[in-house]
Structure formats: structure tokens, C-alpha cells
């Protein structure tokens, strides 16, 4: 298989390598942004259902109280904090 950069000068070859690297990085970033968008879409749907559930169960006041008074609690058994009253 022939090197398709064989006809390029050293300067052109260096620029081509940079361009190729930029293209790969661009594709990786696009994949990452697409993944973030999928997560955002999923979370939006989940939030919509949770909001509707709170309304359906008539828990708006309890939710508001929790949101305003909850605090993060850390313990050694969990790698992340939880919210509690």
C-alpha cells in the first residue's frame, strides 16, 4: 500500500498530520457531545415524569419543603452524598 502523503513536502506532511489529528479530535468531541445530548434528553424525560408524579400524588408542598430544607449528608459507606432532612 502506498503512502498517500509521499508526494507532500515535509512542511505539507507536518500540516497534514496536524490536520488529521484535528479531524480525529473533532470526531471524538462530536461523539462526546452526542453522548451528552443523549444523557440530557433522557434526564429531561425522567424529570418530566417525576414532576408529573409529584403533581399526580399532590406532593408539591412536601417536595418544596424538601427542596428548601434538605442537606447533603456524607457517610463512609457511600461514594457520594445523599440529600436528607
The domain ranges of the chain are 10-84
Q: Quick one: pLDDT band at residue 4, thresholds 50, 70, 90?
A: low
| 76 has a pLDDT exceeding 90 | no
* pTM: predicted TM-score of the whole model, two decimal places: 0.63
Cell numbers 415524569: residue: 49
Collapsing DSSP states into helix, strand and coil, what is residue 3? coil
CA distance 52 to 33: 28
| 35 has a pLDDT exceeding 80 | yes
Q: Quick one: pLDDT band at residue 7, thresholds 50, 70, 90?
A: low
| 55 has a pLDDT exceeding 70 | yes
Amino acid at each position: 500500500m502506498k503512502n498517500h502523503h509521499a508526494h507532500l513536502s515535509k512542511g505539507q506532511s507536518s500540516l497534514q498530520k496536524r490536520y488529521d489529528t484535528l479531524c480525529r479530535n473533532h470526531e471524538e468531541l462530536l461523539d462526546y457531545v452526542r453522548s451528552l445530548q443523549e444523557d440530557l434528553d433522557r434526564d429531561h424525560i425522567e424529570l418530566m415524569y417525576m414532576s408529573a408524579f409529584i403533581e399526580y400524588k399532590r406532593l408539591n408542598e412536601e417536595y418544596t419543603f424538601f427542596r428548601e430544607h434538605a442537606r447533603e449528608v456524607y457517610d463512609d459507606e457511600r461514594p457520594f452524598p445523599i440529600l436528607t432532612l
